[in-house]
Amino acid sequence: MPASFHKSTLFIIVFVMMIPISLIAQNFSGDELIGKGNPELFGEGIGLRKEAYEAFLKMKAAAKKEGINIKVVSGYRNFDRQKAIYESKYRRFTNSGLSPEKSIRKIIEYSTIPGTSRHHWGTDIDVIDDNGKYSGDVLIADKFHGNGPFCKFKEWMDLHANSFGFYLVYTDNANRKGFEYEPWHYSYRALSKQMLTEYIKIDIKKVLFDEQLLGKEYLDDEFINTYHRDHILGINPELY
Ligand SMILES: [Zn+2]
């Protein structure tokens, strides 16, 4: 065999090994996409897929040089965890006198119906600056603006997050529907864009049909269709 053949074969092998994993079409199982899979995750208390975690560490190190201490307050969540969050809010809101429909409307201002959270994917994180300058609830939009404890962090993220592959999901855009503005929720685009493409092929009505969820009778076809359009797809257009 001519030497040139070996050379080019070797070149192709090395080249393929250098391609980031996100550029190779990956198969994500339906279970993984609805929080019922068992993906390999990295970072204690974070839970990102390998490539996303490596990008996160690079971003964290760069921010650290500017005196910003990026802290993940929420990363991966499985279906059961999301169900517990949803049902705890459902109980709290209905116990306070809201109708089931209004309770669900209120839940989906910030929280998802289980099976539909981007936190199921291992690509999305809620982040703050662990600077000791805050108290109480941290995931409050005002804290990221004006004189808020996370305004310096937000300015840094606005300038640099994209270069590390992270994009804000629920932007402050008056034309965007669905979840409220979340200046803390970032997604690792190289993976989550592929996952969204696969996710939207899933029949969510079918997924929820077998679940014993509180208020399930109000999650009818019309609700799910609107939720799909406004909430699941009501994201930063750079992510789809
Ligand atoms: Zn989030």
The domain ranges of the chain are 32-239
Do 90 and 107 meet the contact criterion of CB atoms below 8 Å apart?
Answer: yes
Per-residue confidence (pLDDT) for residue 210, from 0 to 100: 86
Measured in angstroms, how far is the CA atom of residue 101 from the centroid of ligand 1? 23
Quick check: helix, strand or coil at residue 60?
helix
Measured in angstroms, how far is the CA atom of residue 223 from the centroid of ligand 1? 22
pLDDT band of 21, cuts 50, 70, 90:
low
Residues 6+ apart with CB under 8 A from 56: 43, 46, 48, 72, 125, 164, 166, 188
Instruction: Provide the whole-model pTM.
Output: 0.89
Average pLDDT, the chain: 93
Nearest-angstrom CA–CA distance, 135 and 179: 24
Neighbouring CB atoms inside 10 A of 77's CB total 22
pLDDT band of 20, cuts 50, 70, 90:
low
Question: Any idea what the Cα angle at residue 166 is, between residues 161 and 167, rounded to 5°?
Answer: 95
93-122 average pLDDT score: 98
Measured in angstroms, how far is the CA atom of residue 167 from the centroid of ligand 1? 12
In the predicted model, is pLDDT for residue 23 greater than 60?
no
> From residue 165, how far is each of 190, 236, 239 by CA, in Å?
7, 14, 11
Measured in angstroms, how far is the CA atom of residue 52 from the centroid of ligand 1? 15
Measured in angstroms, how far is the CA atom of residue 124 from the centroid of ligand 1? 7
Measured in angstroms, how far is the CA atom of residue 204 from the centroid of ligand 1? 20
Per-residue confidence (pLDDT) for residue 15, from 0 to 100: 65
Per-residue confidence (pLDDT) for residue 116, from 0 to 100: 98
| pLDDT per position as a tens digit, 162-221 | 999 999 999 999 999 999 999 999 999 999 999 999 999 999 999 998 899 999 999 999
CATH number (2.70.98.70, 3.40.50.150, 3.30.1380.10, 3.30.420.40) of 32-239 reads 3.30.1380.10
Instruction: List CB-based neighbours of ion ligand 1 within 5 Å.
Output: 126, 185
Measured in angstroms, how far is the CA atom of residue 61 from the centroid of ligand 1? 22
Per-residue confidence (pLDDT) for residue 16, from 0 to 100: 61
Measured in angstroms, how far is the CA atom of residue 225 from the centroid of ligand 1? 22
Measured in angstroms, how far is the CA atom of residue 76 from the centroid of ligand 1? 9
